[in-house]
Amino acid sequence: MSAERRLFFALSLPAKLQKQVIKWRAECFPQDTGRPVAAANLHITLAFLGEISELKAEALIRVAGRIQAQKFSMHLDDIGHWPGSGVVWIGAKRAPNALLQLASVLRSHAARNGCHQSALPFHPHVSLYRNATRPVAIPPATPQWLLEADAFSLYESTYERGRTRYRCLRTWPLADASAL
């Protein structure tokens, strides 16, 4: 039997935005807020696949390559804390339709390929802290960053020597609206 890998589809953040976010995070949250997510790991999950076989991963890579989805931009203008999961996040007050459609298509392909999908509504976000289980003072606003999404990717999540690493396995471009 081949080894299973923990995979998910996500949008990455450009390196410049990653740096801006972690600088702002350090300035705006106390040090004991939780476990900060490493700059390189900042992302927006589109569909979590779980631990899956190589066969399933190949099937999902094939369908992902056939998806025709539009480029979009989104303002990261929202901040929140989910005490249950211990996540402090930034997101969008109004998620673009193109993002919701892309996540929905990926999630339904994932479900059809046997990857359990959460029944919770999709709430696009960038996790900033994990293990934030105590009340958190949320800053009044983000600097209203603009994320220009022109591709989505498949990532592998590994845990080595106490660190979570996300390795990008494949990236697919999003199309100009006029091209669809």
Which are the catalytic amino acids? 43, 125
* 8 lies in the site for ligand 3AM, by CB under 6 A: yes
* Residue 45 found at the interface with ligand 3AM (CB under 6 A): yes
Nearest residue (CB) to ligand 3AM, 53 versus 157? 157
Structure tokens at 141: 């606003």
Q: Which helix (H) or strand (E) holds 82?
A: strand 78-82
Select from 34, 37, 30 the least CA-distant residue to 163.
Answer: 37
DSSP code string of 91-108: E-SS--HHHHHHHHHHHH
**18 or 127, CB closer to ligand 3AM?**
127
Q: Taking CB under 6 A as the rule, does residue 152 contact ligand 3AM?
A: no
Rounded to a whole number of angstroms, the minimum distance from the CB of residue 171 to ligand 3AM is 16
Contacts of 48 (CB under 8 A, 6+ apart): 8, 110, 115, 117, 118
Q: Is 122 in the site for ligand 3AM (CB under 6 A)?
A: no
Residue 48 binds ligand 3AM (CB under 6 A): yes
31 binds ligand 3AM (CB under 6 A): no
Residue 157, interface with ligand 3AM (CB under 6 A)? yes
Residue 19: enclosing H or E segment and its boundaries? helix 15-28
Residue 118 engages ligand 3AM in binding (rule: CB under 6 A) = yes
Q: Give least dist CB 48 to ligand 3AM, A.
A: 3
Q: How distant, in Å, are the alpha carbons of 53, 54, 84, 112, 124 from that of 3?
A: 6, 7, 31, 21, 30
CA atoms within 13 A on the CB side of 85: 10
Which residues make up the interface to ligand 3AM (CB under 6 A)? 8, 45, 48, 87, 118, 125, 127, 157
